[in-house]
Each structure stands twice: as structure tokens, then as C-alpha cells.
């Protein structure tokens, strides 16, 4: 270690010259943060580019000769402007090239779908696209600055006449600041700009290059705090195989497969095999484990893997050297206004050029036709030549839009003798006429700048819009409850005496299969109910009577309870639901008095109400010591209700006499076409009221039909569903389909004879162009068809029940018409004024504890040979 041997005077001087660390931190850190924000991470709103991207494009424009250049060469040229090395430039070029907008590529540029990287820069080539050359560059309207070493000049921003920032999207992380603008559709952006020019407000939604499905209900125009949910497109190939066709933006096939394998290893889903068949198109094949439902697995993939991702946009851009948070509509409006201004500047520049050309053409014509060039033959000095020409032009000067300068006269002296000798006045006039016509057009466009801008955008759309249609399908997503779709990866056990539950008690009583995400409900003998998260081994209290997986909000689960009230000694009876609770909080199902205990308890998944036999003690003073009670005679109330008096005498035992039936009636099922799911929330079309073995029949546009259960986890191809309703095996179906082989429409009527559930059957011809046009279950369906008869078109109505008899579902059917059918529509039957005979009892789950009737007495019918009305007073 070397020592510093300074004199005291030198040490004092050193101390005075040093700066405190806090001051250095404040100045240097802020400088660094500003530099990263402005020069590296956040794009400028004018051209939507970060500095490295702008410098790459500028270097490529300087190199442009129409041919491809090695990317290594482009990197070298860009390093004249960008001081951060070849790696950052190379990555930025690849990123621009993969967006397929500004750069045409050649070679292996990687794949954003699979995550494969590009080949080395010496192997791949690039050049500017025709689109980039047209909309990005114009030296006349570009503002310039010196490069970092002062040797070159580079653009401050490029004069981009297109919302490039929104088309490409951008992501950047700076110091204490980030930006994330999602890519939008090329065509929709141009149409949005046209809407803005017309005074309208566009509705912009992102469009991802990887396709997929997206829910933009919370997009909030790209503001901070918004959210976009993106899903992979998953298709059901058969009951054992799923296919992933598109992947969510920001993921790759490799990362997606890893997330699926990870979820399988954790037991969230159960699959047998994952195969990546991606080539030209994305295809990931998922083979399901035996017994797994495809619909449940699809939901589980969305819940536990990267098949669904959430993206948080954050539109931050640089405006006048400051970061500003805007909406995508504000950005588009800014870019549209800028494009209009740039077009105006280009027109003004062109106007100036045309006026200068006209001026010089006029000067040239005057100079030659009036033989002014001969007057300078005898001039002996240069000044005399200039003065002579100026004197010759004097009579014509009032005709020009500006003063004639010495530079103009010098240009006249530079005209060659050959040009003077071959001067053609007619051609000169024709050229000047063309210039005047173009000038007239430029002036017109300047006066009608908005219309000119709209035509400019329409021209871009016509030239470059083909093949740039929307890839991402806009959908509304349903919320998937993870606990509902999680695979049963655990087993629930209970030790009722000691009061332990969990999946680690393998030597104790087995309860059911469950997921490690589930909650469990426990009811003890002391009348206490508790809901807790499942764990390996947990203590919930001794003397457990009931334990099961808890389903929050399950209105069909009804508990039938008889308990002894410790305060009064009376036996109370109640029916109740447990809809929502606080986890690990104990709820008393009795009145809470000391000595209260449960005498009888059942849990009924469909609100069943059984009949029990009640035995009183031998010492009871009641005349009838054995009687029956029917739970269906009392109402279903909340868990805090005290219940009704069953008997005031001591009870010896209670036995089940007869299994009960549901008192809730059927379940009203609705179909929401926007998400292709069933629900009980009255969203969408009501399908019907369902019980036990009832089924749903679904017909698809491709000619398939299937019978399904009414489980809310079922999925239907919403855009492909023609008919969905409650299945009635007695209903006759009438269908019209287009036969691709015969190029004509067929009609058929049939009954559904199949009974397999969740298996598709096809009722039309197997030609690839065949499709199902319409299907109806009406008794006497009618259709209106528009027919082409010769040169005329004619409408005709058909009664389908008169056209063809009922045959088997595999029958081909009869031709609808021998003429060409242009259009077919089902004539809707007039609604009948009949009330729906289906009824269902609704349970008001909003009933508060204060509304519950506590301790009320009900009458019981007692079956015995000698009916005595006085018996009612004994209870």
C-alpha cells in the first residue's frame, strides 16, 4: 500500500477542492437518468423511434442503392452515429427486421414465435422497404444535428408521415421510468387517421403479430393502469388431444411449453405429452391424461400456464425533451397532425421549386427570343455583361413574382450555345404549361390540405395494406376460477375424533380427491362451522361431523340441521346455506348457548329435503314419543338463523326414514355467445331449466352437432355455433346445408338418435366447402329463399315440413331448389302468448341475519293411527 505524503498545506487544498458525495450523486445521477430516458429507452413521438433505431435507418438510407447489404456492414455504418457498440446496434436491427415494416430481410432473422435468434450479422442481409423509403425520409423536411464526434450530421427526428410508433409498438426501461406501447394494426391506424382528419374519434385496439385472442375491455386507450388479457387459441382436436394454434404476445412456443410442463409437475393440470409441431404455423399438441375433460383442461391451461397472460400498457413518449404519458388516441392524433403539417411543408417546398422553374424558364425564353445574348458580345468586363443582361430584362421584370438577382443572371450566362441554337419556343411553352398546371394542383392541395391528407392515407392503404389484416381476434373473456379448474392433485383425509384434516393424514379416513388450492368446510358436533385452506395437517377442533371441499357461492348446497339448544333444552331444526365466509373464522350454527350440540346433520348438493324419524327419551312427558319430520316443510335460510322448534322434549335419537328430493327445482342455464360459455347469472340467451340427466344440443356451422351436459365449465366455439338449446329427443330438427361437391343446397329433417355426450357427429356431406346454413327445432319451420331464375331474381317461401319426410340423421336429404340459391333466411315464427311452464324456486341469498325467523314454531303432520289434534301442543 502506497502512502500519500502531502504537506498540511497540500492536504487543506485537496479538501477544499473535493465535492461532497451527495452533491456528486444529485448532479451525476440526474444527468445519467436524463440521458437514459432521452437517448436510449423512450421513443420520440415525432417518429416513434429510439435514437439507435433512428441512426440505423439513417445509415441504411445513406447506403441505399436498391440492393441488400450485409447487416455487419450496416452495423459498421451505424457506428458513425451511435456510440454504444455493435451489439446494441445488431439487436436493434434484428428487432426492426422482425417487425416486417421498415426493413426487408434476407436470411435467417429468427422467429418471434419460437424465440429462435437470428443468424450472425455477417450471414444476414437487409435493405429499406419501399414503404420506409416513401414515408420515413425527406432531407428537405428533416432537422439535423451533429453526430456525437462532430464529423457527421444526423437527423434529430425523421419526418415520418405515418403513426409508426403505434404500428410497431415499443418497450423500454429507463431510470425510474418505463414505456410499453403495444403494436396496432396497420390498416386500422390508417383508417383511424382518416377518421381524425374527418373530425371523428377512432377506437384503437392493439393487434399482435403472434395472433391469438385478446380481451381489451380494460385497455383504457393504453394509459397507465390499463390491462390487456391475451390468450392462446386452443382447439379441441378430439377428446384426448388439444392443439394450440396461436400463442400470446410476449411468449414463445418454448416458454409456453415450459409453463405447461411446470403446471403439470405441480399437479395443476394432468397431461400425458406435449409435442411442438411448429413449422410455418404454430401448432403445439397436448395429449391429455386418461379421464381428463378437454374443456376443464383448456380452462386450467388459461389459469395456470402462459396460455393466458396479462399485459399492462404504459404509453410514455418524449415530447420536447420531456417524458409525457399519453393515450394511444392522443399519439395517433399527434402523428396525424404532424403528417398533415409535413405534407403541407412538402407542398410548399414543391410550390417554391415550381415557381423557381417557371421563373427561370421565363427568363431563359426572354433571354433567347429577345436575343439578349447578342448584346453581351461586345462587353469587355464581367460587370458589363451582368449590367447588359439586366438592362435587357428590365421591361419584363414586373411579370415575375420576385426580383431578379445577380445569381439568376449568372445562370443565364451559363446556357450553352448549342441549347440556344436548338431552342424550341413551342416546347418551352409546353414545359411551362405543365409547370403551371402542376403549380395549380399544388395550390389547390394547399387550400384543401385535409382532403389531400386523406387521399395520401388512402394511397398508403391501397399500396401497402394488402396482407396486413388483423391477426388478433377481439374477444370478451370469462373469469376462470383457479380452484374450479385445478386438477385433483391431492387427497383429503380426516381424523374426526382428534380434529385434524389434511392431505398428509394418509392413515386416517379418506374424504375425497381435491386440489391443493381448495378450501375445506368443517362442521363440528358443538355446532361450529369453519372454512380453512387445505394443508398437509391442520387442527380444526375435535368431534368433526362433516368435512368437504368448500365451493364459495354455491346456492344449491343446502345443509339440514337438528341441534339441541343448551339454554332452553329444546331441539331446533333449520335448513341453511353457507355462501360466503371469512377463512378460519368460527361460525356458530346454533344459538350459541352453553351445552348446545348437533343431533343430526346432512349436506345436500341439490337442496334435497329428507324425512327423518325422531325418537324421544322414555322419560319424556310427551304422549307420542316417535314421530316423523319432513325437512321440506321449512324454508331455507341463512346460517345464522336460530331455526324452528322441533320439540321441547329431550331427544334420544334421530334416524333417516326416506331420502329426499331437491326442493330447489331445476337450474336455469343461460348461454353467453360473446364468450361461448354457460352461466346461471342470466347473461345471454336462456337455454332452459335443467335437472340431473338433462342435456344440451349444439349445432355448429361446419355441420357437427353434439350433446353436452349443462356443466358451467363447458366451452363452445362461440363464432361457430348455429343453434344451442335444451335437448328434447322428441323434437324434429330441420336443417339446410350447402353441398360443396354439388354446389347446391340440401334440406333434411331428422331426429337425434345418438346418446353419446361430448362427442361430435356430422350431418352434412364431407366436402371441404360444405357448411350448415341453418337448423331449426320448430314444428313447422319456414324459410325464405332468393333464387336466380335466368336473368331475374325471385323470392320463394318453403315449408320445410312439406318438402321432405323425417329420415335418419345420416340421410343426404333433398335438393332445396333446382335454381341457384343466392340467399336463405329462416322465417321466425310469431311468439305465442303462453307462459313458460318451467318453474324454479329462487333462494334469496341476500337475506340478512336480522331478517331470519328465530325460534318460530311450525306445524308437523304426524302419521299415526289415532290422530289427536292435541298432539301439536306437545311439540
Say what the alpha-carbon torsion angle 520, 524, 530, 533 is, to the nearest 10 degrees. Answer: -30
What does the block give as the cell for 492? Answer: 383429503
Strands (E), 691-791: 696-700, 704-708, 721-726, 733-739, 744-750, 761-762, 771-776, 782-789
Q: According to DSSP H, which parts of 553-696 are helical?
A: none
- Separation between Cα atoms, residue 412 and residue 372, nearest integer Å: 10
Question: Which of 25, 123, 203, 433 does the annotation list as catalytic?
Answer: 123
Q: Is 123 a catalytic residue?
A: yes
State residue 168 phi and psi, 5-degree precision: -90, -30
Q: According to DSSP H, which parts of 792-834 are helical?
A: 800-803
Contacts 24+ apart (CB under 8 A), 656-659: 656/610, 656/611, 656/612, 656/613, 657/610, 657/611, 657/612, 657/613, 657/628, 658/610, 658/611, 659/608, 659/610
Relative to beta strand 733-739, strand 771-776 is: antiparallel
- Separation between Cα atoms, residue 241 and residue 285, nearest integer Å: 7
- Separation between Cα atoms, residue 418 and residue 270, nearest integer Å: 90
- Write out 383-400 in H/E/C secondary structure: HHHHHHHHHHHHHHHHHC
Tell me if 704 sits within 8 A of 762, measured CB to CB. yes
Query: How distant is the alpha carbon of residue 117 from its chain centre?
Result: 27
DSSP state of 240: T
Collapsing DSSP to helix, strand or coil, 211 comes out as coil
CB-based burial of residue 19 (10 Å sphere; 0-12 exposed, 13-18 middle, 19+ buried)?
exposed
Helices 85-98 & 71-78, crossing angle to 10 degrees?
A: 120
Helices 328-369 & 186-197, crossing angle to 10 degrees?
A: 70
What does the block give as the cell for 398? Answer: 414586373
Q: Which of 780, 789, 666, 669 is nearest to 731 (CA)?
A: 780
Tell me if 184 sits within 8 A of 204, measured CB to CB. yes
- Separation between Cα atoms, residue 631 and residue 628, nearest integer Å: 10
Cα–Cα–Cα angle for 769, 772, 778, rounded to 5 degrees: 165
Relative to beta strand 806-807, strand 744-750 is: parallel
Name 494's bridge partners.
501, 509
Tell me the CB-side half-sphere exposure of residue 225, using CA atoms within 13 A: 5
Q: Which of 433, 517, 514, 531 is nearest to 480 (CA)?
A: 517
Collapsing DSSP to helix, strand or coil, 867 comes out as coil
Tell me if 710 sits within 8 A of 738, measured CB to CB. no
The catalytic site residues sit at: 123
Amino acid at each position: 500500500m502506497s502512502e500519500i505524503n502531502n504537506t498540511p498545506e497540500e492536504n487543506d487544498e485537496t479538501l477544499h477542492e473535493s465535492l461532497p458525495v451527495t452533491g456528486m450523486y444529485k448532479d451525476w445521477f440526474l444527468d445519467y437518468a436524463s440521458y437514459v430516458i432521452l437517448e436510449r429507452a423512450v421513443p420520440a413521438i415525432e417518429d416513434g423511434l429510439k435514437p439507435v433505431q433512428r441512426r440505423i435507418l439513417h445509415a441504411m438510407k445513406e447506403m441505399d442503392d436498391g440492393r441488400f447489404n450485409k447487416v455487419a456492414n450496416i452495423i459498421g455504418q451505424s457506428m458513425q452515429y451511435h456510440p454504444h457498440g455493435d451489439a446494441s446496434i445488431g439487436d436493434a436491427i434484428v428487432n426492426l427486421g422482425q417487425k416486417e415494416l421498415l426493413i426487408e430481410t434476407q436470411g435467417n432473422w429468427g422467429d418471434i414465435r419460437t424465440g429462435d435468434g437470428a443468424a450472425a450479422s455477417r450471414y444476414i442481409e437487409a435493405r429499406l422497404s419501399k414503404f420506409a423509403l416513401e414515408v420515413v425520409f425527406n432531407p428537405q423536411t428533416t432537422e439535423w444535428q451533429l453526430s456525437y464526434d462532430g464529423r457527421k450530421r444526423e437527423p434529430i427526428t425523421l419526418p415520418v408521415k405515418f403513426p409508426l410508433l403505434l404500428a410497431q409498438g415499443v418497450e423500454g426501461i429507463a431510470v425510474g421510468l418505463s414505456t410499453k406501447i403495444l403494436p396496432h394494426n396497420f390498416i386500422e391506424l390508417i383508417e383511424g387517421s382518416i377518421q381524425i382528419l374527418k373530425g371523428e374519434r377512432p377506437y384503437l385496439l392493439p393487434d399482435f403479430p403472434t395472433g391469438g385472442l385478446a380481451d381489451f375491455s380494460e385497455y383504457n386507450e393504453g394509459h397507465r393502469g390499463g390491462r390487456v388479457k391475451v390468450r392462446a387459441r386452443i382447439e379441441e382436436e378430439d377428446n384426448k388431444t388439444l392443439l394450440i394454434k396461436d400463442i400470446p404476445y410476449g411468449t414463445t412456443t418454448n416458454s409456453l411449453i415450459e409453463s405447461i410442463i411446470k403446471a403439470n409437475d405441480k399437479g395443476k393440470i394432468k397431461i400425458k405429452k406435449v409435442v411442438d409441431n411448429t413449422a410455418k404455423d404454430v401448432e403445439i399438441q397436448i395429449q391429455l391424461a386418461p379421464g381428463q375433460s378437454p374443456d376443464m383442461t383448456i380452462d386450467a391451461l388459461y389459469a395456470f400456464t402462459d396460455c393466458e397472460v396479462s399485459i399492462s400498457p404504459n404509453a410514455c413518449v418524449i415530447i420536447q425533451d420531456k417524458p409525457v404519458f399519453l393515450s394511444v388516441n392522443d399519439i395517433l392524433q399527434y402523428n396525424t397532425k404532424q403528417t398533415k403539417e409535413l405534407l403541407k411543408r412538402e407542398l410548399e417546398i414543391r410550390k417554391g421549386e415550381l415557381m423557381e422553374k417557371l421563373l427561370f424558364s421565363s427568363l431563359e425564353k426572354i433571354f433567347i427570343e429577345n436575343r439578349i445574348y447578342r448584346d453581351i458580345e461586345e462587353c469587355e468586363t464581367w460587370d458589363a455583361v451582368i449590367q447588359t443582361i439586366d438592362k435587357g430584362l428590365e421591361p419584363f421584370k414586373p411579370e415575375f413574382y420576385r426580383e431578379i438577382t445577380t445569381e439568376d443572371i449568372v445562370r443565364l450566362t451559363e446556357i450553352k450555345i448549342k441549347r440556344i441554337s436548338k431552342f424550341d419556343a413551342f416546347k418551352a411553352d409546353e414545359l411551362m404549361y405543365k409547370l403551371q398546371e402542376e403549380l395549380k394542383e399544388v395550390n389547390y392541395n394547399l387550400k384543401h390540405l385535409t382532403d389531400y391528407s386523406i387521399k395520401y392515407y388512402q394511397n398508403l392503404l391501397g399500396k401497402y395494406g394488402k396482407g396486413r389484416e388483423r391477426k388478433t381476434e377481439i374477444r370478451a373473456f370469462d373469469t376462470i376460477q383457479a380452484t374450479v379448474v385445478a386438477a385433483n392433485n391431492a387427497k383429503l383425509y380426516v381424523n374426526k375424533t382428534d380434529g385434524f384434516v389434511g392431505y398428509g393424514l394418509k392413515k386416517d379416513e379418506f374424504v375425497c380427491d381435491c386440489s391443493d388450492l381448495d378450501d375445506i368446510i368443517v362442521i363440528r358436533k358443538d355446532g361450529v362451522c369453519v372454512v380453512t385452506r387445505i394443508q398437509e395437517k391442520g387442527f380444526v377442533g375435535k368431534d368433526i361431523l362433516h368435512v368437504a371441499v368448500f365451493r364459495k357461492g354455491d346456492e344449491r348446497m343446502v345443509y339440514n340441521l337438528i341441534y339441541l339448544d343448551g339454554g332452553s333444552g329444546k331441539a331446533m331444526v333449520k335448513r341453511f346455506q353457507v355462501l360466503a365466509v371469512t377463512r378460519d373464522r368460527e361460525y356458530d350454527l346454533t344459538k350459541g348457548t352453553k351445552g348446545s350440540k348437533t343431533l343430526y346433520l346432512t349436506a345436500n348438493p341439490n337442496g334435497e329435503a329428507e324425512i327423518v324419524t325422531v325418537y324421544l327419551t322414555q322419560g319424556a312427558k310427551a304422549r307420542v314419543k316417535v314421530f316423523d319430520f319432513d325437512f321440506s316443510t321449512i324454508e331455507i335460510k341463512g346460517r345464522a338463523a336460530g331455526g324452528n322448534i322441533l320439540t321441547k322434549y329431550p331427544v334420544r335419537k334421530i334416524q333417516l326414514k326416506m331420502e329426499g328430493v331437491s326442493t330447489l327445482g331445476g337450474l336455469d342455464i343461460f348461454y353467453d355467445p360473446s364468450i361461448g360459455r354457460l352461466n346461471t347469472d342470466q347473461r345471454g340467451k336462456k337455454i332452459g331449466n335443467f335437472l340431473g340427466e338433462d342435456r344440451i344440443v349444439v349445432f355448429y356451422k361446419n355441420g357437427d352437432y353434439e350433446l353436452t351436459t349443462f356443466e358451467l365449465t363447458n366451452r363452445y366455439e362461440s363464432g361457430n355455433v348455429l343453434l344451442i338449446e335444451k335437448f328434447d329427443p322428441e323434437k324434429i330438427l330441420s336443417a339446410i346445408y350447402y353441398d360443396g361437391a354439388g354446389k347446391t343446397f340440401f334440406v333434411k329433417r331428422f331426429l337425434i338418435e345418438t346418446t353419446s355426450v361430448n362427442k361430435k357427429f356430422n350431418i352434412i356431406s364431407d366436402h371441404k366447402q360444405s357448411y350448415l346454413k341453418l337448423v331449426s327445432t320448430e314444428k313447422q319451420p319456414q324459410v325464405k329463399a332468393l333464387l336466380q331464375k335466368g336473368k331475374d331474381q325471385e323470392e320463394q317461401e318453403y315449408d320445410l315440413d312439406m318438402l321432405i319426410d323425417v329420415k335418419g340423421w345420416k340421410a343426404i336429404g333433398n335438393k332445396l331448389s333446382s335454381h341457384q340459391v343466392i340467399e336463405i333466411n329462416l322465417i321466425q315464427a310469431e311468439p305465442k302468448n303462453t307462459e313458460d311452464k318451467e318453474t324454479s324456486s329462487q333462494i334469496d341469498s341476500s337475506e340478512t341475519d336480522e331478517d331470519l325467523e328465530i325460534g318460530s314454531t311450525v306445524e308437523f303432520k304426524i302419521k299415526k293411527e289415532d290422530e289427536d289434534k292435541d298432539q301439536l301442543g306437545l311439540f
